[in-house]
């Protein structure tokens, strides 16, 4: 069913919601499972990150970002 919907939208921009797995080492997306399609809304990068921060920021209140990034970078060497 999803493939038919996507096929009809070939060469158009679409929005998708889902769950992703990412590689911490190189920040690449390893897997993405689409849960639903949404209307695509073009926006600036700044507005997109502001929206993400508003919606998800509370999950990271206790995160020491500098320490986390330092740890990842040390693991790369």
38 in the same domain as 9: yes
Nearest Cα neighbor of 17 from 44, 47, 39, 46 is 39
Q: What is the rounded distance in angstroms from the CA atom of residue 6 to the CA atom of residue 1?
A: 9
8 A C-beta contact, residue 34 and residue 18: yes
Contacts of 32 (CB under 8 A, 6+ apart): 16, 18, 19, 20, 21
54 in the same domain as 32: no
Residue-level pLDDT at 35: 92
77 in the same domain as 55: yes
38 in the same domain as 53: no
Note down pLDDT in tens along the chain; length 77 residues.
778 888 888 888 888 899 999 888 788 999 999 998 888 889 999 998 899 889 988 988 888 888 888 887 776 55
CB count, 10 Å around CB of 58?
Answer: 9
């Amino acid at each position: 069913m999803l493939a038919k919907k996507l096929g009809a939208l070939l060469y158009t921009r679409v929005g998708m919601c889902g769950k992703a797995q990412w590689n911490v080492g190189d920040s690449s997306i390893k897997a993405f499972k689409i849960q639903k399609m949404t209307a695509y809304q073009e926006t600036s990068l700044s507005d997109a990150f502001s929206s993400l921060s508003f919606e998800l920021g509370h999950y990271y209140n206790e995160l020491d970002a500098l320490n986390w990034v330092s740890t990842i970078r040390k693991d790369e060497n």
